[in-house]
Amino acid sequence: MSPPDPDRDGAAERTRGASNADAIATAAAVATRANGAVQSVDRAMHLIEILAAAPGGVGLADLARTAGLPQPTVHRLLRALTDRNWVRQESDRRYVVGAGLIGIGHSAQRLLAAGAEPYLRRAVEISGETANLAVLETDHVVYVAQAASPHRLRMFTEVGNRAPLHSTGVGKAILAFLPPAVTDAMLARTGLPRRTPTTITDPTAFTEELARVRAQGYGTDNGEEEVGVRCLAFPLLARGASAPAARSAEPAAPTPDPSACTTFGPATTAIPAIQAIPAVAVPERPETPTVTAERGGEGWRVIGALSVSGPASRLEAQDLGDLVQRMRAVVDGLQTHLAVGSTET
């Protein structure tokens, strides 16, 4: 056996140390690049969300200020998004969402509708009325899926139809859980036009109505879009990217007090009666200026609304507190399904 050679052994040890250091440095560089790529994707998606909430477009400086990013960074991201036709620049140099997102949106709506079908059927079983799934599209709601009531006399809204936000249950359910700046901007563009004698057209009264929706966790349409029709609608909420709803337990909803309200009641007293029902537990309204609340944190965002609607006479005969509680279980199931289907950990 050869005697130990300190010089040779030291050189070998130094070589191994250098190799380990190189490997660690390479891994760190890869991780840094990966983190940077994820951050860029998140920032680009944030820009699209801001533009989607501003149909009139946004200038570069305002977009950078809203996103909290340097203008050169925003400009670089916009170039990449423009190349994919997800964003386009208008003649006045404002940026708007591009036509390349249309196909993506349609595909998302089809998948959303397909996944919601069993929950819509369950909502029909519970209520006996037609169930609809609606999503926000610019300044309107669009119905993307439906399960029909078994009754011969029933409400029918064609899938693909658009409807106002302020006079529909699904519209109120969505508006109430959007950030205040987005809600205010939408209502400034659309106003509160009268659709029926019971449509809420006073801005102060409508603000109070949205506060009620947030407090109780559901919205109603008491003949405000169509005379003689009642609608009960629930927002579909999802956690922010780091905490999907499916991975977060929601607090249990309180049991409605049967003595507080037992029916929808006649049109003239429907809203006060509904106010008396104990609130269904829901997340607090986000207070950020984008559709996604508390980006990267524990915030909530609204992704649509589920409703049941039918002739006023039939819905008025139901125990509203019981219907709310039973429907809430359907809504919770659909929210969980949507979060699991769209998020991988």
- Please report the pLDDT score of residue 191 as a whole number: 93
- For residues 117-138, give the mean pLDDT: 90
**Which single residue is written with the structure tokens 């109430």?**
176
- Please report the pLDDT score of residue 207 as a whole number: 94
% residues pLDDT > 90 (the chain) = 34
% residues pLDDT > 70 (the chain) = 67
- For residues 270-286, give the mean pLDDT: 35
In 53-96, alpha helices (H): 60-67, 71-83
> Is pLDDT above 90 for 175?
yes
> Is pLDDT above 80 for 163?
yes
More confident: 46 or 18: 46
Cα distance between residue 203 and residue 166, in whole Å: 10
- Please report the pLDDT score of residue 81 as a whole number: 93
Residues 6+ apart with CB under 8 A from 207: none
Residue 230 has phi, psi (to 5 degrees) of -115, 150
- Please report the pLDDT score of residue 15 as a whole number: 56
Cα distance between residue 103 and residue 303, in whole Å: 18
223-275 pLDDT tens trace:
999 998 899 999 998 765 322 222 222 223 333 333 334 344 333 333 333 33
Of residues 118, 60, 117, the one with CA closest to residue 89 = 60
Cα distance between residue 72 and residue 64, in whole Å: 9
More confident: 244 or 133: 133
Same CATH fold, 102-342 and 6-97? no
- Please report the pLDDT score of residue 200 as a whole number: 95
- Please report the pLDDT score of residue 243 as a whole number: 23
More confident: 28 or 177: 177
Of residues 171, 204, 196, the one with CA closest to residue 186 = 171
> Is pLDDT above 80 for 340?
no
Query: Is 62 in contact with 96 (CB distance < 8 Å)?
Result: no
- Please report the pLDDT score of residue 16 as a whole number: 56
- Please report the pLDDT score of residue 151 as a whole number: 77
Q: Please, which pLDDT band fits residue 158 given cuts at 50, 70 and 90?
A: confident
Task: Look at domain 6-97 and name its CATH class.
Answer: mainly alpha
- Please report the pLDDT score of residue 251 as a whole number: 28
298-320 pLDDT tens trace:
457 888 899 998 888 888 888 88
Give the global pTM. Answer: 0.60
- Please report the pLDDT score of residue 70 as a whole number: 93
> Which of 44-53, 188-197, 273-282 is predicted with the least confidence, judged by mean pLDDT?
273-282
Cα distance between residue 46 and residue 284, in whole Å: 21
- For residues 62-76, give the mean pLDDT: 92
CATH of the structural domain 102-342, one choice from 3.30.830.10, 3.20.20.70, 1.10.600.10, 3.30.450.40: 3.30.450.40
Query: Is 165 in contact with 186 (CB distance < 8 Å)?
Result: yes
Question: Side-chain half-sphere of 155: how many Cα atoms within 13 Å?
Answer: 27
**Which single residue is written with the structure tokens 């064609």?**
158
- Please report the pLDDT score of residue 298 as a whole number: 43
98-116 pLDDT tens trace:
888 877 777 776 777 777 8
Domain boundaries, the chain: 6-97, 102-342
- Please report the pLDDT score of residue 40 as a whole number: 85
- Start-to-end CA distance of the chain, whole Å, equals 55
- For residues 62-82, give the mean pLDDT: 92
- Mean of the per-residue pLDDT values of the chain: 74
